């Protein structure tokens, strides 16, 4: 198992540009989430999905879109990048099968918006 993979690892964007952060998991997990990590603020939930075709907003969804067309993939789209979106982005997945509950995190994408 590769677990949760994210691409790219690093990205620099100019204000107003758009891009997609990729996330994939090979564990057949139902739940997938996107978080952003900023110093002193922990991880904040952007969007999440409870299964293919179902997504919902988290704590800080503005400026981001998601879709979940397959169980494996959960891309995060920045529509028009802003400096406030400079952050480290983590994708995570989990399953409730077997009463495990813990989330598995990808290695992160470090995004800088200038």
Partner 1 sequence: AQSVAQPEDQVNVAEGNPLTVKCTYSVSGNPYLFWYVQYPNRGLQFLLKYITGDNLVKGSYGFEAEFNKSQTSFHLKKPSALVSDSALYFCAVRVHGSGNTGKLIFGQGTTLQVKP
Length of the chain: 114
Q: In the beta sheet, which residues pair with residue 22?
A: 7
Is 17 or 95 the residue whose CB approaches partner 1 more closely? 95
Q: What are phi and psi of 17, to 5 degrees?
A: -75, 160
Q: Considering the complex, what minimum distance in angstroms separates the CB of residue 99 from partner 1?
A: 7
- Contact segment (CB under 8 A) with partner 1 among 14-22, 38-46, 60-68, 70-78 equals 38-46
Residue 76 makes contact with partner 1 by CB under 8 A: no
Among positions 34, 93, 106, 113, the unique one binding partner 1 when judged by CB under 8 A: 106
CA 113: distance to chain centroid? 17
First to last CA, the chain: 36
Tell which residue, 34, 32, 4, has the closest CA to residue 94.
32
Q: Considering the complex, what minimum distance in angstroms separates the CB of residue 82 from partner 1?
A: 23
Structure tokens at 88: 């480290």
Number of residues counted as binding partner 1 (CB under 8 A): 27
Cβ atoms of residues 24 and 109 within 8 Å: no
Cβ atoms of residues 103 and 93 within 8 Å: yes
Q: Considering the complex, what minimum distance in angstroms separates the CB of residue 16 from partner 1?
A: 28
Residue 33 makes contact with partner 1 by CB under 8 A: yes
In the complex, which residues of this chain contact partner 1 (CB under 8 A)?
4, 31, 33, 35, 40-45, 48, 50, 56, 58, 90, 92, 94, 96, 99, 101-108
């Amino acid at each position: 198992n590769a677990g949760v993979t994210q691409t790219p690892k690093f990205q620099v964007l100019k204000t107003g540009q758009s891009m997609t952060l990729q996330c994939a998991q090979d564990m057949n997990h139902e739940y997938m989430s996107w978080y952003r990590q900023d110093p002193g603020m922990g991880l904040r939930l952007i969007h999440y999905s409870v299964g293919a075709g179902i997504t919902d907003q988290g704590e800080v969804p503005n400026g981001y879109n998601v879709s979940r067309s397959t169980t494996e993939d959960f891309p995060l789209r920045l529509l028009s990048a802003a400096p406030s979106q400079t952050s480290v982005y983590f994708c995570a997945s989990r399953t409730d099968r077997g009463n495990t509950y813990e989330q598995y995190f990808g290695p992160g994408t470090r995004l800088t918006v200038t």
